[in-house]
Structure 1
Amino acid sequence: MRQRQSVAVSPSAESGKTENPVPSKLGPQQKEASQLGVLGSSKKVFAPCLAFQIANALLIQTYFNPDEHWQALEVAHRITFGYLHPFLFAFLYKAIAMMGLDTPWFMSYFAGFGDLYLYKLSVIIFGDCVAKWALFSQLTNRFMFYCITRTFSNSLETVLTLVSLYYWPCIRPSSSKLSLESRKWGLIIASLACAIRPTIAIIWLYVGLLELFLTRDKLRFIFLESMHSCQLCVALHNCIDIIIVLFTFFVPLNFLRFNFLSAGGDYYGTHKWYWYFTQGFTVMIFSFLPFSVAEIMQSKHWEFVLPVLPIALMFSGHSLAALRTSVSENGKGKEPLNINNKCPAKMQLAIFFLLATNIPMALYMSLVHQTERNRGCYILLMPCHATPYYSTVHRNLLMRFLDCSPSEEKGILDESDQFMMDPVGFTSELARNWSLSSHIVLFDSEEKQLRDFLISHSFREIKRFFHAHFKVDRDLQVSVIVYGLTGD
């Protein structure tokens, strides 16, 4: 049941002979090492992947989603919210404070490990040939390039998912003596992923049920392994919440209550159930053709689907590897082309198509679309969480943005909604208490309505930054405009 077949069967295998036979006494780890093939050891895979991800992180000059700043960076900057994910960045900020440095590529190390384990997972399931093309698909996919090195909890969740899947026995081609030890690591890492992002439990529910169905020691799996791993991660999670943040309630339970029981997550926007299939996952995988089923939730954000994307890209690698094979005359088997031979024309065309459709889009989204938001200002008259905050400024400034905290009473508008409905009226009321702030930042769509008001209060436009060519989830916001107090 667990056996997987490689994309290509060697000629010697079809004739009943074997090339470079693996001794039957070799253990699972040695057998796996013998499959690493051209790319060799893990270090040889990780080093170029890390270099690529560092370059990727350095090229990210744009804004994607408020969560990349407000899930971790802003939280870690002040340590005000109990969550394991931003706790990692608190150590980074401590190092920055000691050395006076800033870094845009902290997440590139995690992304590099994700690439490595995508390759290793592909090796044990499909073989080395598919693994190389799965890694190619991962590194050239424009959405992975755009998103994986950002400070989303979903990015770390994606990496942990790949690492954990690698250790699950039910994913491996055959069982082994190392299954129990491997499964323990898989459970611990999966529990850690769930502690960081509870919604990933939907994926692990499927994997856990598959393992429960296949394993012989079902009671041991449930009571001695699964429960202990979950307890360990919950204890670690609560220690961080209580000791560091002084939170006395169970944060994952609060997450469940807010997002599912009270539908609080709907406050930030919803889509129909088919959004993942018609827009979300389809746009993310872009010109890579594999299809995958994403978890169904009402609250929709692009990055929520990120953990599923590498799995789909493995199948893209499978298809690309198949293009390098030739069908035998009887049509029953496939023979791999000599590695020294030129790639078939259909494969060259596929590679060119993937590169041509992903690289330009990746560079545009990373360097151009939604740029120039990393500017420290005093009053931000724009939708809340539309910009990074102290985590980017690194200065002791007095800043203020519009509040959008969801109210438990329906029908009550927050500051952000009030401003969008009546920019002039809201700003007039706000001006009574702002003590004439030195700078105001806003989008051009609202600036057109507030220009006369700001000029009458001695503000002048001092800088205009390009933001976007097309709208995303709001009206088109072409520019971010900074007004400064002239003192006239």
Structure 2
Amino acid sequence: MENLRPRLNFGNKVQVVKLRKRKSELYSKEDGTSPLSDGELWSRLVVFSVVFRLMNCFLVQSSFVPDEYWQSLEVSHRMVFNYGYLTWEWKAGIRGFIYPLFFAVIYKILHVINYDLVHLLIWLPRILQALFAAFADVKFFFLLRTLESPDVAKWTFFCHMVSWFSWFCCTRTLTNSAETTLTCLALVYFPLPGSTKHSSSVYLSLVAVAVLVRPTALIVWFPLVLLHFYQEENKLRLVTHSLLPIGAVALVISTVIDCIFYEKWTLVQFNFVKFNVFHGVADFYGAHPWHWYLSQGLAVLLGPHLPLFVHGCCLAARKYKTLLAAIVWTVAVYSCLPHKEFRFLYPLLPFCMIFCGMSLAHLGAWRRPAALLLLVTNLSAALYTGLVHQRGTLDAMSHVRALCDVTSTPPPDVLFLMPCHSTPYYSHVHCPMKMRFLECPPDLGEEGYVDEADQFYVDPLHWLRTSFPYKSSLPTHLVLFDVLEEEISVFLQGNKFVRTAEIFHTHFPEGRVGGSIFIYERH
């Protein structure tokens, strides 16, 4: 990578020394006694980031999307404790075991030392995710110091840390969260203009891991790697010493791990493309218009940062054209796919924050009021979405978990009459209690296929009567959203089900998802 570094003559070296001295002065303590050394700055930033992300972790007590559990913790729980439920994706071989394996190792250690308490199974993976995010925060700040002046670096880091969407997602056990953290770390070692710590082998290794965790990470990094290849003087060395070896090792490790846990030859990356692109299985979970990311997705992802991002693009489009090209490319590619979600754009957030920081730093006298407004609006959104909105499905599992200690006859038998995968499952209960939910695997070619959840919602009363023709087959507990209660009230009263809990879920009920969750028990 030496050939990418600018060659400096003596005069340039003098200027660099002066610039570094100026940066050191700007990072001095306010009383002017002595500047902060890199070591002091590093230690202070580590403490701040760790404390901040741990607070972040514990102040996010809501659910986001089912993949947060069903592609990570549920799989890990089954790997270690040999009971649980795997969705159709794991039966079809389109998901890799590398990400769940990380949590499975933690679960196995807890199991071996006989300390596999359910609260540790829930929170320890999230705490580790938070620490990983904190490490990326620190590395990102020191990258900013090499790219920009201390002032711009400070305001960019501020934008990064106050982002409500980052707060909402970064400590969750989503593959998107790990993908974003790995992307942020890889960016530190990518040869951006002005970067002094770039390393092809390091950033490509991090990209490879991100792709193994979530294959769509390749979309974000394709234009960046391509541009690096174009600018690299020794292209053959880059390919033979970095690209090919790292890609081959990553593919071999991934394939070996997947073959072990699938117990058959499985190439997950090929299956992922086959099902989601050629068979269009992702469309089963909803389709959106092509402009959805432009009209809604980016606005939600950036939130109050959006005006700063637009302004920053005008200021730094030429300097950071590489990052801007990656943003445009990724949004364009995802816009061509029918199924769209906010979290798919999450790995772009560190790129966007660089433009936001440039904007905020150039607002002059207005930047402090703008920063205060940014903090208040983001904090409000972060606390509401983390502590209030969509928390009922997690709170309901606390009530279900209490049934593990029930020794009555018949034993607990819980039926979730909700849209499929609305709640986490055995990873949040941790006992082999009988549970069942309405399943919704996609149509894989079966003529006239209708999933169980859709069959139920066509005529809930009929489905219940035909599924449970005898009282002896009835579940002991039902978990449902309040919008369903009136429709099945005859069934509830006729079979002596009594409401035992009402749990708040959201202020914005929509369709099959109600504002509250009811738990009924049969007497």
Instruction: Give the alignment's TM-score, normalised by structure 1.
Output: 0.84
Contact 1:380 1:402 in 2 (8 A): yes
Letter aligned with residue 450 of structure 1: I
Letter aligned with residue 50 of structure 2: L
Contact 2:97 2:261 in 1 (8 A): no
Identity %: 34
Q: 1:429 to 1:38 in 2, by over 3 A?
A: same
Matched, 1:349 2:389: no
After TM superposition, give the deviation of residue 276 of structure 1 in Å.
0.8
Contact 1:60 1:367 in 2 (8 A): yes
Give the secondary-structure state (helix, strand or coil) at the position aligned to 1:198: coil
**Counterpart selection for 1:112 from 117, 130, 134:** 134
- What's 2:403 paired with? none
Taking only aligned residues, the RMSD between alpha carbons, in angstroms, comes to 2.6
Matched, 1:381 2:397: no
Q: 1:237 to 1:77 in 2, by over 3 A?
A: same
Q: 1:288 to 1:36 in 2, by over 3 A?
A: farther
Letter aligned with residue 453 of structure 1: F
Q: 1:418 to 1:18 in 2, by over 3 A?
A: closer
Contact 1:105 1:149 in 2 (8 A): yes
- What's 1:43 paired with? 43
Letter aligned with residue 405 of structure 1: P
- What's 1:429 paired with? 466
Matched, 1:321 2:337: no
Matched, 1:252 2:269: yes
Distance 1:164 1:38 in 2: 21
1:338-394 deviations in Å (ceiling 9; x for gaps): xxxxxx3x1222012112211111111111111121234411011111100001111
**Counterpart selection for 1:211 from 211, 228, 233:** 228
After TM superposition, give the deviation of residue 476 of structure 1 in Å.
5.0
Distance 2:390 2:39 in 1: 37
Gaps of at least 5 residues in structure 1 are: 5-12, 24-34, 325-343
More helix, by proportion: 2
1:78-135 deviations in Å (ceiling 9; x for gaps): 1364421111111222233332341252311121122123213322322432222222
**Counterpart selection for 2:100 from 86, 102, 106:** 86
Q: 1:198 to 1:401 in 2, by over 3 A?
A: same
Give the secondary-structure state (helix, strand or coil) at the position aligned to 1:386: coil
After TM superposition, give the deviation of residue 147 of structure 1 in Å.
1.1
Matched, 1:485 2:485: no
Distance 1:116 1:224 in 2: 29
Distance 2:254 2:302 in 1: 33
Letter aligned with residue 431 of structure 1: F
**Counterpart selection for 2:481 from 443, 466, 474:** 443
Contact 1:441 1:481 in 2 (8 A): yes
Matched, 1:166 2:188: yes
- What's 2:211 paired with? 194
Matched, 1:124 2:146: yes
1:7-63 deviations in Å (ceiling 9; x for gaps): xxxxxx9xx98875659xxxxxxxxxxx99789543332221111111111111111
Q: 1:22 to 1:381 in 2, by over 3 A?
A: closer
- What's 2:298 paired with? 281
Distance 2:78 2:488 in 1: 33
1:240-296 deviations in Å (ceiling 9; x for gaps): 112244242101111111110111111111211211111111112011021553242
- What's 1:142 paired with? 164
- What's 2:432 paired with? 396
- What's 1:10 paired with? none
Letter aligned with residue 482 of structure 2: D
Letter aligned with residue 357 of structure 1: T
Distance 1:461 1:37 in 2: 62
Give the secondary-structure state (helix, strand or coil) at the position aligned to 1:108: helix
Q: 1:319 to 1:40 in 2, by over 3 A?
A: farther
Letter aligned with residue 91 of structure 1: V
**Counterpart selection for 1:465 from 503, 512, 517:** 503
After TM superposition, give the deviation of residue 437 of structure 1 in Å.
1.3
- What's 2:389 paired with? 369
- What's 2:29 paired with? none
- What's 2:253 paired with? 236
Distance 1:458 1:190 in 2: 56
After TM superposition, give the deviation of residue 146 of structure 1 in Å.
0.9
Gaps of at least 5 residues in structure 2 are: 22-34, 80-85, 91-95, 311-326, 401-413
Distance 1:243 1:60 in 2: 35
Distance 1:211 1:423 in 2: 56
Distance 1:38 1:127 in 2: 15
Distance 1:90 1:251 in 2: 19
After TM superposition, give the deviation of residue 428 of structure 1 in Å.
1.5
Aligned residues between the structures = 439
Contact 2:305 2:356 in 1 (8 A): yes
Contact 2:392 2:506 in 1 (8 A): no
Q: 1:118 to 1:420 in 2, by over 3 A?
A: farther
Distance 1:21 1:385 in 2: 55
Contact 1:118 1:134 in 2 (8 A): no
Letter aligned with residue 173 of structure 1: G
Distance 2:157 2:39 in 1: 11
Q: 1:204 to 1:379 in 2, by over 3 A?
A: same
Distance 2:362 2:355 in 1: 11
1:313-353 deviations in Å (ceiling 9; x for gaps): 121111122234xxxxxxxxxxxxxxxxxxx3x12220121
- What's 2:350 paired with? 310
- What's 2:240 paired with? 223
Q: 1:391 to 1:213 in 2, by over 3 A?
A: same
After TM superposition, give the deviation of residue 145 of structure 1 in Å.
0.8
Instruction: Give the alignment's TM-score, normalised by structure 2.
Output: 0.79
After TM superposition, give the deviation of residue 211 of structure 1 in Å.
0.6
Q: 1:245 to 1:44 in 2, by over 3 A?
A: farther
After TM superposition, give the deviation of residue 172 of structure 1 in Å.
4.2
Distance 2:436 2:427 in 1: 14
Letter aligned with residue 319 of structure 1: S
After TM superposition, give the deviation of residue 423 of structure 1 in Å.
1.2
Contact 2:66 2:421 in 1 (8 A): yes
Distance 1:124 1:267 in 2: 45
Distance 2:58 2:447 in 1: 43
- What's 2:116 paired with? 100
Letter aligned with residue 318 of structure 1: M
Matched, 1:262 2:253: no
Distance 1:348 1:250 in 2: 52
- What's 2:32 paired with? none
